[in-house]
């Protein structure tokens, strides 16, 4: 078999690429505050940071034991990044309610209290919705992804 075939897998009738990493990147005008929210509050480890790249500086945060990263950047001349809506969410799944409460308590200590979810599904299923310093919303979900 051609070694190129290992780069793909079949899901149903569709050939899909085997990805090694995924990263979500977004700008902010509050890089230090946003990084503090996700690292100290949420508990994501810092993987890397950079500065002086065409006027940008940034930080990469990771999800433990996974190849998914969040990248936050700030440009020297400003990086407007308003949230698109209250229902654009980054959802984190936890094994149990105690873990959600622990993270929500840490975020509250940093000044980020829960907000009402736009979609009642999250509240009905025990989730906690919190806004980061840029008003982008995260959801802390107390059950594994099904």
Say which CATH number the domain at 112 has: 3.10.180.10
Query: For residue 50, what are the contacts with CB-CB under 8 A and spacing of at least 6?
Result: 56, 57, 58
Same domain assignment for residues 73 and 106: no
49, two tokens:
């940071």
pLDDT at 60: 94
Rg of the chain (C-alpha set): 18
- Model confidence, pTM: 0.84
123 has pLDDT over 70: yes
Same domain assignment for residues 62 and 91: no
pLDDT at 146: 62
Same domain assignment for residues 88 and 54: no
92 has pLDDT over 80: yes
| Domain end (from 81, 102, 122) | 81
| Domain end (from 61, 81, 101) | 81
Same domain assignment for residues 144 and 90: yes
Per residue in 21-80, pLDDT tens? 788 899 999 999 999 999 999 999 999 999 998 999 999 999 767 778 999 999 999 877
Same domain assignment for residues 49 and 88: no
Q: Please state, in angstroms and as integers, the Cα–Cα distance from residue 30 to each residue in 106, 120, 132, following that order.
A: 19, 29, 10
Angle at Cα 83 formed by Cα 56 and Cα 146, nearest 5°?
Answer: 105
Cα–Cα distance for residue pair 2/28, rounded to 1 Å = 44
Residue numbers of the domain that contains 99: 82-146
Q: Domain total for the chain? A: 2
Residue 35 is assigned to a structural domain of this protein: yes
């Amino acid at each position: 078999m051609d070694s190129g075939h290992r780069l793909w897998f079949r899901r149903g009738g569709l050939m899909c690429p085997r990805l090694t990493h995924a990263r979500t990147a977004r700008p902010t005008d509050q890089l230090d505050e946003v990084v503090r929210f996700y690292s100290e509050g949420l508990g994501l480890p810092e993987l890397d940071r950079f500065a002086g790249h065409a006027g940008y500086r940034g930080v990469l945060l990771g999800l433990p034991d996974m190849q998914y990263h969040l990248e936050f950047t700030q440009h020297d001349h400003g990086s407007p990044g308003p949230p698109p809506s209250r229902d654009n969410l980054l959802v984190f799944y936890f094994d149990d309610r105690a873990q959600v409460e622990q993270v929500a308590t840490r975020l509250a200590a940093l000044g980020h209290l829960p907000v009402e979810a736009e979609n009642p599904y999250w509240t009905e299923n025990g989730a906690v919705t919190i806004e980061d310093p840029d008003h982008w919303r995260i959801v802390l979900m107390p059950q594994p992804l099904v």
